[in-house]
Amino acid sequence: MQTVQIIGTLFFLSELTLLIVKRSRSGKAPQQGDRDKHSLLILWVTICVSMTLGMTFTRQWGLWLPFYLQTAGIVIAVAGMILRWISILQLGRLFTVDVAIRDSHQLKTSGLYKYVRHPSYAGLLLIVAGMGFATGSLISTLVMVIPIFLALQYRIRTEEAALLAAFGDSYRDYCQRTSRLIPGIY
């Protein structure tokens, strides 16, 4: 359980750093309106509540997972962090935690983005699922993964609407040849 807490702390600190450093700034993302549609707030609240509940009630909820899945959970969570950070670094200055399209924004279709449209969200789901498995409780895993997945679906729809408005047919074409989160599946 201590390893899960360390991973959780690293995850929280990295996301807090992103929240502080990578918000779009006025003037750099003009005429944004309400493109974000509160999706960042919804995602943050969902992550905090789901993770807290999942970690708090692990012992009471039971339905224990085998040790090898608990160990695999740690590997999955670390792989998710790596995937998330690589995708963020590949976007570079275009990455913001809130939905924003810059004047000089170009559609990213290379690197990880050649295979999936939202690799940082895929990484986030791997982190959460891995941490859930690492708790050893199937119910804790579900309490963490399902609400966060649903919040991410809202976030993805919001982000894709903004990208479609900004890039039109080129974004439609990109959507036709890439998956949202899992290459070749979804």
The whole-model pTM stands at 0.86
Residue 146 falls inside a structural domain: yes
Q: Domain range holding 65?
A: 36-96+109-177
Determine the Cα–Cα distance for residues 169 and 116; give it in Å rounded to an integer: 18
Q: What is the pLDDT of residue 173?
A: 95
* Cα–Cα nearest to 138, from 76, 67, 53, 63: 63
Domain count of the fold of the chain:
1
Q: What is the mean pLDDT of each run of 10 residues along the chain (186 residues)?
A: 80 85 54 68 93 82 82 95 95 83 82 95 96 90 96 95 92 94 89
Q: What is the pLDDT of residue 72?
A: 95
Q: What is the pLDDT of residue 62?
A: 67
Residue 91 falls inside a structural domain: yes
Determine the Cα–Cα distance for residues 39 and 35; give it in Å rounded to an integer: 9
- Kind plus residue range of the DSSP H or E element containing 152: helix 138-167
Residue 120 — φ and ψ, nearest 5°?
A: -70, -35
Q: What is the CATH number of the domain that holds 74?
A: 1.20.120.1630
Residue 77 falls inside a structural domain: yes
